[in-house]
Each structure stands twice: as C-alpha cells, then as structure tokens.
Amino acid sequence: MPFRIDALRFGSLKLRIAVLYAGLFALVLAATALIADQGLSRFGENSAARDMAANARVFDEILTLRASQMRGSTDVLARDFGFREAVATGDRATIDSALESLKSRSRTDAAFVVGLDGSLVAAGDARIGASKAMWSALDEGRQRGIIRIGGQLSLAAASPIMSPDLAGWLVLAQPLDRAELDRLVQLAAIELDARVELAGDLPEWMRAATDGEVFERTTDERFLYQVSTVPALQDGLEPRLVLRHSLSRSLAQYSTLQYLLAALAFGGIILVVGLSWRVARTVTGPLQKLDEATRLIAEGRDIDLATGSDDEIGRLATSFNVMVAAIEERERKILHVGLHDGLTGLPNRKLFLEQLNQALPRLKDGDRAMVVYVDLDDFKLVNDTLGHPAGDALLRDIAEYLSTALPDALIARLGGDEFAILMAIPPETASLAAVAERISDCFERTIMLDGHQAECTASLGIAMAPGDGKDASTLMKNADLALYRAKSEGKSTYHFFEPELDELARKRRQTELDMRTAIREGGFVLNFQPLYDMAEEELKGFEALIRWPHPERGLIGPVDFIPLAEETGLIIPIGDWVLREACRQAAQWPGDVSVAVNISPKQFAAPNLAQTILQALASSGLAPSRLELEITESIFIVDIERTLSTLHKLRSLGVRIALDDFGTGYSSLSYLRSFPFDKVKIDRSFVKDLGQGGNAHAVIRAITTLADALGMDTLAEGVELDEQFDILKREGCQYIQGFLFGKPMAGEDVFALFGHSAVRSYGHGG
Amino acid sequence: MTRLRSIFALIFLSTGLAITAQAAPGNSLRVQLVDERGVPVRDAVVELAPSRSPSGPIRFPWRMAMAQKDQQFVPGTLIIAKGSTVAFPNLDRVRHSVYSFSKPAQFTIDLYGRDQTRTHNFPIAGTVALGCNIHDAMRGYIRVTETPFAGKTDANGYVALDNIPAGTASLTVWHPRLRATGNEITNGVTIASGAQSRKLGVRLR
C-alpha cells in the first residue's frame, strides 16, 4: 500500500484498487480541468484586455477622425474669401450667417470666431463664454481639443482665419454628450462605454490610473477601464477619456465552454470510476474464485479451476490446478507410504488391521476367515551372513511370490520378517490344514541371492474368525500365540490357535513377573558342579549353575526360564547376579579352586560386561585367574570384530575364557584360530556316544589334538560312565564334568566339602 | 532675389537722396533688433516719431511699388509715406490679385495678368496686410507712416536713422510676427546729439 488511511479500512482488495485508481485519475482529471478553466479565464481576460486596448486606440482614432472632419469644415470656411473679408471687416451679420450655415453643414452644435486677442468675434450661440481661455491654445496653433461650452464638454476643432495675416480662429464644437459618444462608440468593434470627464470630476482610483493603460476594477461586475488624456483647447481644462468594457460580459461567452469542460471532467471521473471498478474486478474476480477454490479444497472437495484465458490469471489458474493435482498426488503417496511397506509395496500392519476390521463384519453366516501370522525362519541368519540387501531381496521375492500364489488373499508385511495373510474360507472348505499347507508351501522355496542359495522356510500361526476372535486385535494376538507355539515346536511348521495357547502365554507372562520379583528379592540360588582334572586327578573348580526355587511352583530348572529371560532381556540382570554371587562364594573357597560362569550372548553383547566383572571381582576379592567365563559360539555370528574386541578386553582383566558347547551349532574351526581360548568344552552330545562303538572317539581325539596344538585345555561335559571317562582320558582330554564325578551341589555343600579338606581323597570312584 | 531688391533700392535711393539730406543733420540713431534668442530680426520696420514732427512732404529713397514676382510680394515689406500711391506690377507669368482687409486700406484688385500694373493710394497711416486671393501663401506688408524717420532692418537686424532731430520721440518697431497688439511696440526715447545706437529685443511669433 502506497499509503494507509487508518480511518478508512477497505475490506476488499477490489475496493482498494478501485478507490485508489479512481481517486488518482479523478485528481489528475480535476487538476487538468481546473488548469484548463484557469487558462480559459486567463485567456478570456487577456484577450478582453487586448481587445479593450485595441478598441481604445480605435476610439481615439474615431475621436481624432471626428475632430479632423470638423476641422475640414472649419478649414473650408476659414479660407473662404468672403468669410475672411467679413471677419476682417467685422461684418457680423455675414459672419453669423456663415457660422449658421457651417453648423448645419457639419452637424455640429456650436461655431464661433475667436479674435486674435481672444475676444469672441462672433458666436452663433450665446453660451460660449470661454473664448479668452482658448486664446493661448489657439495661439500655440492647436487645431483641436476639448472645450467647455455652457458647462458641457465638447469636442472642438479650430482653423486660423488668414486675411492674409492671422485675423482669428474659426472654432467648431460638438458637445460630447451621451448621444454623441454612444454614436461614436458604435464604431468600435467591442461594446464600450465611453465618456469624457474632467480630471477633477473623476473618482480617485481613476485619477490614479496610468494614462492609457487598461486595468480591471470590480464593483458589482468586472470591468476593464482605460483612462486617457485628451488634448484640451481651453486653459484650465484637463479632460479625460474614460472607456469602460464589461469583462464579465466578455467572459460570459467562455462560460459555456467552462460548463462544457466541467461536464467533460465530471463525465471523465464517472468513466474513470467505472473503469477502475471494472479493472479492480478483473483483477480481484479471479482472486475471489481462487479463494473460494482454496476453501473448497481445504474442505476436501475436488476442484478444477476453469483457466479461461491465456493471460497471467489464466496461467495462475493452470498453476493452481497443477498444484492441487500435485498436492493430491503427494497426499496419495503419503497415504500409501503410511499404509504400505516401503520395501515390498504390501499393505502394512495398520492397513492390514483396518482391512481385517472391515472384512470381519461382512462375514456371512457359515463363512470363515483365516488370519495367518507368518515369521520367516532364520531370517536373521540370512541378513547376518549375506547382508541386508540380500535380506531385502529375499523379502521382496517372497512378497512377489505370495501375491501371485495367493491372488485371493490379503497379504501384508507387518515388519521385519513377519507377514500376515487374510483369507476367506468358504463354508464348503473341507480341510483347513490343506489351506495352511498351501500357504506354508508358498514360503518353502529355494531362492538365489547374489549367487548364493538360500533355503527359506517360515513358521505360521493361524487364527480363525469368527471362532478365535471377533475383532482384528484379538485375532492377531491369537495368531501370534499360535506362531509362537509353531516356532517353539520347531520351525517350518504351522500351528492353529488353541485356547490353551492363551493359557501358556498367560503363564509366560506370570513367569516373567515372578522373575522380576526374584531378581529384586534374590529368589535365585546357585548350584555348583565340580570340574575334575584327569591328569592331576583332583578337583580343579566348579561351574556355577542357576536354580530358581519358585515359592509356588517349586524348583524351576534353567531350561524353563532362561529362554524366557533371554527373550525378555531379564537375562542381563540375572547374569550379573550370577557373576557376583559366583565370585562371592568362590572367594571363600580354598586354594586356587576356580569358578566357571556362563555368559549368555545377550549379556556378552551388553556394553558394561567388563565393568560388571571387575566390580564382582573387586567386591569379592576373588583373583581374576580363578574366574572362568563360558561363552558359546553364537557370539561370533553377530559381529566378529566386536566380539573379538570384547574377548580381548575380558582377557586383559586376567580372567580365563572357555568356549562352551563346542561342536554344536555353526561351529567353525576359524573361531578357535581367531581367539586363543583357555579352554574348549566338548559338548555332551559327543560324550554321550562314546563307548558305544562308532567314531565318536575320533571326533574327541581330533578336538583334543587341535586344542593341544593351539595351546588350549579341553573339557568334556556330561561324563556319566566309566567307559566315557577311560576313552576321554586316552584321547587326551584334560578335564571332565558330569554325574560320574559330581552332580551340581548347593553352595553350602561345597563349603562342607572343603570343610573336610579332603579334596584330594574325593577322587575317582570315591 | 536679394540682388534684385538691392537694384531697386539703388534706383529709388538716387532719386530721394536730396529730400532726406535737408533735414537736421548730425544726429543719427542706429538700432539693432534681436529676438529673445539674440538672433537679428530682419525686415522689421523701425519708425521714430519726434515730438516735433518736421513739416513738408515725406519722401523715401525707394520706389513706391510692390511687385509680384515668383508668387511673392517684392519687397515683402514696403514703407511708404501717408498719401502715397503704390504700384503693384505683376512680374509673374501667372495672374495675381491683391486684396487688403486692413483698416487703413481695404481694397481688392481683381486678377490681372503679366506685365500689368495696378495702383492704390494709401491715405491713412498704419499697416496694410496684402494678400493674393488665389495664392494664400503670398503675403506683403505696406507700412504707411507719418514720419520720415523710418527704415527696415537689414540682415543683421540693423537700421540706421540719420538726421533726426534731438529731443524726445517715440520709437515704434513693427514686424508682421511681433508678439504685440497690432504687431508693433512703441517706446518713448530721447534723442541726443550726434550718433547713438540702441539695441532692442523683441519677441516674435
């Protein structure tokens, strides 16, 4: 806004533009009209003044002409011989008759003869009494001028009478009365009012006027005046010619023009106001439409602006449409992204639940729906071994395959390696198991990933609507429970939801709660299983084993709660407790009897493991060399670099590290090379087969030979029989652990054992 | 024209010399006439009228004639004694008339042709203005005097009056353009013996 008037707030742009432009134009127009009007007045005045001056000159000429004409008459008579004789001889009768004749001939009022001495020689009229006063003027040779006859100013012309010397003057006079002046004035081109007055009779302002100059004076009307001196033919006479011209009347002829101008200006302003309004509407009309369109779009309606023209407004409308389309497209994309999985393009959990919720009420009587919760088996392994891109490719491949293999099903990816499938089951379907098989088969495929072959299987949990739940969340929860069951039953299988699964889940939750209580209130206890050195034939240490004496359910073995602890992450506080408790008790054992503590992979991955160990050692006063950490190979699966770094850090604390359960899982000899373990614990499965023929002892020998070569000790777990003991001893195994030597015992029993201080006598076969 | 006038003057001078010589010898008056600007006034008539006027006829040493030549009266101003008869010879190729409305002599001589002469007698003293009815510009003056002591000023405004009687006298100066009633001024003067001179200032129209 170029300017802002606070008192005048215009609600609309249209009004603002219109008022601004109309105001501006009106101002210019008014100024123009005003200037033109002024100019017209000035022009009128100037031309009137010019006319006046010109006509004043003309009137002077007229007067002069009249005087000359009179002079002509006097000349004729003054030269007449007879008249001259009459004057010279004083023949009054003759003179008088001649004067009469002259008067009538020249249409004048007075004719008389002035003698050389100024005496009135002859007068046709008795009024003349000023001949003496005329003498000096006549004597100077003036030929015309104003005289006063009988109180009236008259125009006079005089001719000398020569006989042959100057004998006197013949004077002819015409009173300049109104009638005479009016008659003369008619000869002028403009309307003039003329009068001849004595200077003394004039008002002051006229006397003050410059001789012969036109000036203006306003009384009730505007008048132009010119006061000029006219010559007198009589002493003491100061005649003035006063010419007056009505300026008002002269200007009146321009007034029509001025009215026309005013009308023109007024019309122009009306036109400008109209046009401004129109222009403003042209500008703001589309804006209003845009405003309306924007509002409608905000309300969520579909709008397409008519573009109409090719100008800026048209382009604006086009841009607007493009923008609206772009916004809609983006909205659709956002909606799609929000409801779909970016990797596979399948609906996500949210959309699946929505659609499930929509589908459920539409189920007709007898119709059923199958909700399948799918989890790929060992997908984590694919990711870890082949990399995330391979995992992604696998997921995409499965999604693609599912879409083609199950065209009637609603397939969604719930996240990670989890899928959900919704299928309508018609009433005539005989076997739900067949349907489940078909779905399961979809996942059991071999997929080529970057030249690697990947075997893919999946576990399925199935819930049936409406039997297993009326709403989506219940159905999903139940399918999930079934899946859990399927997973725990071994992979690559399916399981239908059963109500008891719900009960199991409830139990699991209870167990978790109880575990938390046990952690808080010290509900766990440690048992210790002896480790026997075969070469030295003595007890070398104990493996700490956790037991949970549950207040209601009785003693619970680690198998029954450790997986749940792993699952829920409670394994970390539990593991910490085990570490501290084991150290505390071991510190009270005599000599160099060591304690072995199992470290779960989750615990191993925790960042503060080393610190926990240090604290346990410090608070117990146990020598680090007496603490042995048992880890499993599975820690190598995740991140070898990090695992090695952690191992070295632990080793630097001075503790011993044993590789537990060697020979199971993805055992790789490269692990043994990558880190110098202190001990390798041979899995009980190898020990179990010893003494029953076969080649079990060959495996044992291979391991012991390898460990020996690498400078590691070997320990065999689960030794229960003497044959096993013998073979192990023969094959070079250093340590054994098992029922043959000693069952796990309570901490106080360990003390009691040392109390007898018969460690050495507590030997094989004892 | 001046030469011509002097020829006439010579002729008339030789005839009238004896008359003037017999008057009272010795006293003379030399008058110079100038206007207000000091310019000498020529062709003015200066007359001295002694209180005791000498008797006997007055004779002037110039011819009593007013010729018309080149549409002019020649001489323009003629001094004659009262009772003289003046001749008006027409020396022009054109015809002239002579008229006078002056009080001393009012007369009209009708047109007359070349080489013709008319005469007129002037019995009354005064100034007679002459005109020609058909030539307005022609102007001639005849000064009819009663005193023998009269003369016209020359180009330098001088006039000399000789053999004048001593004693009181009135000195009259006339000129056609003199600003005074009757175009003349009269002053009383006392004439001493011997030569004397006087300078008079006059105003002209």
Q: Taking CB atoms and an 8 Å cutoff, what residues of chain A touch B138?
A: 164
Q: Which residue of B has its CA nearest to A81?
A: B133
Q: Which residue of B has its CA nearest to A84?
A: B101
Q: Which residue has the higher pLDDT, A70 or A637?
A: A70
- Out of B106, B130, B136, the one facing A162 most closely (by C-beta) is B136
> A645-661 burial, b for 16+ CB within 10 Å, e for fewer?
ebbeebbeeebbbbbbb
Q: What is the pLDDT of residue A759?
A: 43
Statement: residue B22 has pLDDT above 60: no
Spatial distance between the Cα atoms of A66 and A212, rounded to a whole number of angstroms: 20
Q: Do A373 and A477 contact (CB within 8 A), yes or no?
A: no
Nearest C-alpha neighbor of B66 from the set B91, B42, B41, B45: B91
DSSP H or E segment with residue A167: strand A166-175
Q: Residue with structure tokens 């008389």?
A: A112
User: Does residue B130 belong to the interface with chain A, where contact is any CB pair within 8 Å?
Assistant: yes
Q: Is residue A693 classed exposed, middle or buried when 0-12, 13-18 and 19+ CB atoms within 10 A define those classes?
A: exposed
Q: What is the pLDDT of residue B9?
A: 39
Contact B129 A117 (CB under 8 A): no
Per-residue pLDDT tens digits for A234-245 = 888 888 988 888
Q: Which residue of A has its CA nearest to B177?
A: A165
Q: Residue with structure tokens 């007229």?
A: A62
Q: What is the pLDDT of residue A420?
A: 92
Q: Which residue of B has its CA nearest to A91?
A: B101
Spatial distance between the Cα atoms of A422 and A44, rounded to a whole number of angstroms: 102
Contact A162 B131 (CB under 8 A): yes
For domain B25-54+149-205, the question of CATH label 2.60.40.10 is answered with yes
Count CB neighbours of A273 within 10 A. 17
Q: Residue with structure tokens 């009266």?
A: B73
- Rounded to 10 deg, the angle between the A247-298 and A13-79 helix axes is 170
DSSP state of B182: G
Q: What is the pLDDT of residue A619?
A: 92
Domain boundaries, chain B: 25-54+149-205, 59-146
Per-residue H/E/C for A663-711: CCCCCCHHHHHHCCCCEEEECHHHHHCCCCCCCHHHHHHHHHHHHHHHC
Q: Taking CB atoms and an 8 Å cutoff, what residues of chain A touch B106?
A: 88-89
User: Does residue B126 belong to the interface with chain A, where contact is any CB pair within 8 Å?
Assistant: no
Confidence tier at A668 by pLDDT (50, 70, 90): low
Distance from CA of B91 to the nearest CA of A (A): 21
Q: Are strands A445-449 and A222-229 parallel, antiparallel or unpaired?
A: unpaired
Contact A89 B106 (CB under 8 A): yes
Confidence tier at B128 by pLDDT (50, 70, 90): very high
Q: Do A685 and A663 contact (CB within 8 A), yes or no?
A: yes
- Out of B133, B138, B183, the one facing A81 most closely (by C-beta) is B133
In this structure, what are the phi and psi dihedrals at residue A217, rounded to the nearest 5 degrees? -145, 135
Mean per-residue pLDDT for A108-135?
77
Q: How many residues does chain B have?
A: 205
Q: What is the pLDDT of residue A623?
A: 92
Spatial distance between the Cα atoms of A427 and A137, rounded to a whole number of angstroms: 154
Statement: residue A497 has pLDDT above 80: yes
Q: What is the pLDDT of residue A627?
A: 93
Per-residue pLDDT tens digits for B26-52 = 789 999 999 999 899 999 999 999 887
Q: What is the pLDDT of residue B23?
A: 47
Spatial distance between the Cα atoms of B75 and B54, rounded to a whole number of angstroms: 27
Count CB neighbours of B165 within 10 A. 19
Q: What is the pLDDT of residue A747?
A: 85
User: Does residue B124 belong to the interface with chain A, where contact is any CB pair within 8 Å?
Assistant: no
The least confident of A30-44, A84-98, A442-456, A571-585 is A442-456
Q: What is the pLDDT of residue A508?
A: 84
Spatial distance between the Cα atoms of A476 and A354, rounded to a whole number of angstroms: 12
User: Does residue B78 belong to the interface with chain A, where contact is any CB pair within 8 Å?
Assistant: no
Statement: residue A9 has pLDDT above 80: no
Query: Counting one residue from A and one from B, how many pairs have CB atoms under 8 Å apart?
Result: 31
pTM for this predicted structure: 0.46
Confidence tier at A333 by pLDDT (50, 70, 90): confident
In this structure, what are the phi and psi dihedrals at residue B197, rounded to the nearest 5 degrees? -135, 160
Q: Which CATH architecture has domain B59-146?
A: Sandwich (2.60)
Q: What is the pLDDT of residue A168?
A: 87
Count CB neighbours of A322 within 10 A. 10
Q: What is the pLDDT of residue A624?
A: 92
Instruction: Name the interface residues of A facing B (CB cutoff 8 Å).
Output: 79, 81, 84-85, 87-89, 117, 162-165, 167
Q: What is the pLDDT of residue B10?
A: 38
What domains can be seen in chain A, in order of their start residue?
A: 15-248 (3.30.450.20), 345-497 (3.30.70.270), 531-545+571-755 (3.20.20.450)
Q: Which residue of B has its CA nearest to A118?
A: B181
Q: What is the pLDDT of residue B19?
A: 39
Statement: residue A465 has pLDDT above 50: yes
Q: What is the pLDDT of residue B88?
A: 92
- Out of A79, A117, A163, the one facing B101 most closely (by C-beta) is A163
Contact A117 B102 (CB under 8 A): no
Q: What is the pLDDT of residue A628?
A: 93
Per-residue pLDDT tens digits for A696-738 = 788 888 888 988 888 899 999 888 888 888 888 888 889 999 8
Same CATH topology for B25-54+149-205 and B59-146: the answer is: yes
Q: Which residue of B has its CA nearest to A89?
A: B101
Q: Which residue has the higher pLDDT, A307 or A432?
A: A432
**Residue A599: both structure tokens together:** 């470290």
Per-residue pLDDT tens digits for A371-399 = 999 998 888 888 888 888 888 888 888 88
Mean per-residue pLDDT for B84-112?
90
Statement: residue A328 has pLDDT above 90: no
- A715 SS3 class: strand
DSSP line for A430-470: --HHHHHHHHHHHH-EEEEETTEEEEE-EEEEEEEETTT-S
**Residue A18: both structure tokens together:** 């219109």
Q: Do B21 and B163 contact (CB within 8 A), yes or no?
A: yes
Mean per-residue pLDDT for A292-298?
84
Gyration radius from chain A CA atoms: 70
User: Does residue B28 belong to the interface with chain A, where contact is any CB pair within 8 Å?
Assistant: no
Distance from CA of A61 to the nearest CA of B (A): 30
